[in-house]
Amino acid sequence: MAEGLLCFVRLDDPPDVRYETVGRPVCPDDELLLVDEDGNPVRDGEVGELLVRGPYTLRGYYGVPEYNARTFTPDGFYRSGDLMRRHPSGNYIVEGRKKDLINRGGEKISAEEVENLILSHPAVLNVACVPMPDPVLGERMCAFVILRERGTMTLDELVAFLAEKGLARFKLPERLELVDDFPLSKFGKVAKNILSEMAAAQAQTGAGSAPTETGVQRPR
């Protein structure tokens, strides 16, 4: 991250640790905390937001005191927004971004986890999973998918593929939108807020599963 912390695996780490983790801090003076939504430390192996403080991690952004009050703890830890868990080796595994969680009836779903599995489908070129509003559960997941040339996919096929990969049922997408491209932010990143608005609009209009339509939704 540009704000500071550097992590690396070591040459003497076992292969599985080198393949599965992002390593551990380069400096012994780096302090890392993984905390839950209430700021309480999580147990080893559990996912939490990374808070970091150290000799080369910034203490604040210039000229934005209100933003700094939200982004740093009173004792100087930077709230990274990254979700991580600590591996038994002492190294760390990235699980996604805090702002990229979908809250389905209290169950938190990492969009990145689901996206990585969908990307392994041979028909998929790119994917973005976003929340769409739901009056009962608060949010449900919609998968926006760009297919490869001559690729085809239905929601049922996608769900079956992910179930075979071992994805928990509550994490399965409940709507599929097939698109030609993604809207981008001014920084060139996928504008997931726009995709969420599109999913909500499509759900309200009741787009069906006809081949000429993009919206397909599983029954509730």
Question: What confidence score (pLDDT) does residue 207 get?
Answer: 53
- 85 and 129 together in one domain: no
Task: Kindly state the greatest CA–CA separation across the chain.
Answer: 58
Tokens of 155: 């929601």
Give the chain's mean pLDDT: 88
Structural domain that includes position 164: 105-217
Question: What confidence score (pLDDT) does residue 163 get?
Answer: 96
Question: What confidence score (pLDDT) does residue 208 get?
Answer: 41
**Does residue 2 sit within a domain?**
no
Residues of the chain with pLDDT under 70: 206-220
Question: What confidence score (pLDDT) does residue 71 get?
Answer: 93
Render pLDDT for 72-120 as a digit per residue (tens, 0 to 9).
Answer: 999 999 999 888 999 999 999 988 787 788 889 988 888 888 999 999 9
Q: Which of 146, 148, 200 is nearest to 174 (CA)?
A: 200
Question: What confidence score (pLDDT) does residue 100 get?
Answer: 80
pTM above 0.85, yes or no: no
Rounded distance between C-alpha atoms, residue 43 and residue 35, angstroms: 9
Collapse the DSSP code of 98 into the 3-class scheme (helix H, G, I; strand E, B; otherwise coil) and give the result. Answer: helix
- DSSP characters over 30-95: -EEEEE-TTSPBPPTTS-EEEEEE-TTS-S--TT-HHHHHHHB-TTS-EEEEEEEEE-TTS-EEEE
- 54 and 128 together in one domain: no
Rounded distance between C-alpha atoms, residue 176 and residue 155, angstroms: 6
Question: What confidence score (pLDDT) does residue 2 get?
Answer: 85
> Domain total for the chain?
2
Collapse the DSSP code of 186 into the 3-class scheme (helix H, G, I; strand E, B; otherwise coil) and give the result. Answer: coil
Choose the final residue of a domain: 97, 128, 146. Answer: 97
Question: What is the domain-level CATH number for residue 172?
Answer: 3.30.300.30
- 88 and 139 together in one domain: no
